[in-house]
């Protein structure tokens, strides 16, 4: 399994409450600055965030744009349920840095788009629910 595949699998399992793979691939000294809250987050904070948003956000497919021993860049898609069959769609980029083969730092940036990305590709949101 590639680093990008392990990251994707870990957080998909985490969204269902199983953080065992997350715990395996993250460095004990991991931290990341969360621009939304203005705080430095650790892995326990990230677990809480994913647990909190998992009911309203579906993470669509993710694909590695670049992968090396020390860095991975992943493109992904997300859909946020706003209620009343209204959704917002995002394209995300996640930059991941490694130390001792484990994730030490990461940043995710999301850009809202005015269209449903699944309409342009050969996948659908139901495959990721």
Query: Can you give the chain as a three-state secondary structure string?
Result: CCHHHHHHHHHHHHHCCCCHHHHHHECCCCCEEECCCCEEECHHHHHHHHHHHCCCEEEEEEEEEEECCCEEEEEEEEEEEEECCEEEEEEEEEEEEEECCEEEEEEEEEEEECCCHHHHCCCCHHHHC
Q: pLDDT tens digits for 33-68?
A: 877 677 789 999 999 988 887 778 999 999 999 999
pLDDT of residue 105: 96
pLDDT of residue 94: 94
Considering the domain 3-128, what is its CATH architecture? Roll (3.10)
Residue numbers of the chain with a pLDDT score lower than 70: 36
Looking up tokens 């069959």 gives 85
pTM (global) more than 0.85: yes
3-state secondary structure at position 123: coil
pLDDT of residue 36: 66
Nearest CA to 2 out of 62, 58, 46 is that of 62
pLDDT of residue 126: 92
pLDDT of residue 66: 98
pLDDT of residue 125: 94
The tokens for 95 are 């930059």
Nearest CA to 55 out of 18, 17, 6, 8 is that of 17
């Amino acid at each position: 399994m590639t680093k990008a595949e392990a990251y994707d699998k870990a957080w998909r399992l985490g969204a269902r409450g199983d953080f065992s793979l997350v715990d395996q691939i993250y460095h004990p000294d991991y931290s990341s600055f969360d621009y939304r809250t203005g705080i430095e987050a650790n892995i326990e904070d990230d677990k809480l965030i994913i647990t909190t948003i998992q009911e309203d956000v579906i993470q669509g497919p993710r694909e590695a744009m670049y992968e090396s021993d020390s860095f991975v860049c992943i493109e992904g898609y997300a859909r946020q349920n706003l209620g009343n069959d209204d959704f917002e769609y995002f394209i995300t980029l996640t930059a991941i840095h490694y130390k001792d083969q484990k994730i030490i730092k990461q940043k995710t940036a999301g850009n809202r788009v005015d269209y449903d990305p699944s309409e342009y590709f050969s996948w659908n949101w139901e495959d990721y629910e």
